[in-house]
Amino acid sequence: MRLLAKVVLAGDGGVGKTTLIHRYITNSFIDSTKLTIGAAFHTHEIQAGEHSVLVQIWDLGGQEQFKQMGIFDKYFKGATVTVVMFDLTRLNTLNSIPEWADLALNSSNTKLILVGGKKDLAQGITFELDSFEELNEKYNFETYLETSSATGDGVDNVFQAIANVIIDTTIEKKLNGPKQDTTIPK
């Protein structure tokens, strides 16, 4: 089955959203990226077992001035999955997780995945989902993953998790919800 879904990557500026996408799509690392102005758009097909998932990926600029513009809620509309990302080397970026998660959930019926980036630079700082007990109780993250776009560690896991959530959500909708065709012709 071939599925189509919208995915949004959200988080503060410089947490590694753009490099994560670039690493996944090209399997290469770019060590210097330009600030994402507003949002960037990518498409990519993910194979997950018998399913092929075409994802429309929206990479939101995380700088405060973009959040202040009040346009991000429009980017979240229709998102099946939102990846909320923080930087393992700048733990103050954890403080913005609620803001990004609220923005996503107030704008759409999306599922959330929490990602800690820059694992290769984190000097042993690592977390388990239990470490985010209070956040997880409020936002019910599907999973928590740590990545390094520099080494590629964990990058594929993020996109496999995205595909799995999309597949599970699509199957759940077909079984329980309104009839909405999310398959696309081959």
Per-residue pLDDT of 131-161, as tens digits, reads 899 999 999 999 999 999 999 999 999 999 9
pLDDT of residue 45: 94
**Class of domain 2-176 (CATH, top level):** alpha beta
Residue 48 has pLDDT above 60, yes or no: yes
Type of residue numbered 18 = T
Mean pLDDT within 59-88:
78
What's the alpha-carbon Rg for the chain, to the nearest Å?
A: 16
Domain extent listing, the chain: 2-176
pTM over 0.85: yes
pLDDT of residue 70: 57
Mean pLDDT within 110-124:
95
Mean pLDDT within 119-123:
93
Percent share of the chain, pLDDT over 70? 84
Type of residue numbered 97 = I
Contact 56, 4 (CB under 8 A): yes
Query: CA 101, CA 30: separation in Å to the nearest integer?
Result: 27
- Give the pLDDT band of residue 1 (cuts 50, 70, 90): confident
* Residue written as token pair 């909320």: 84
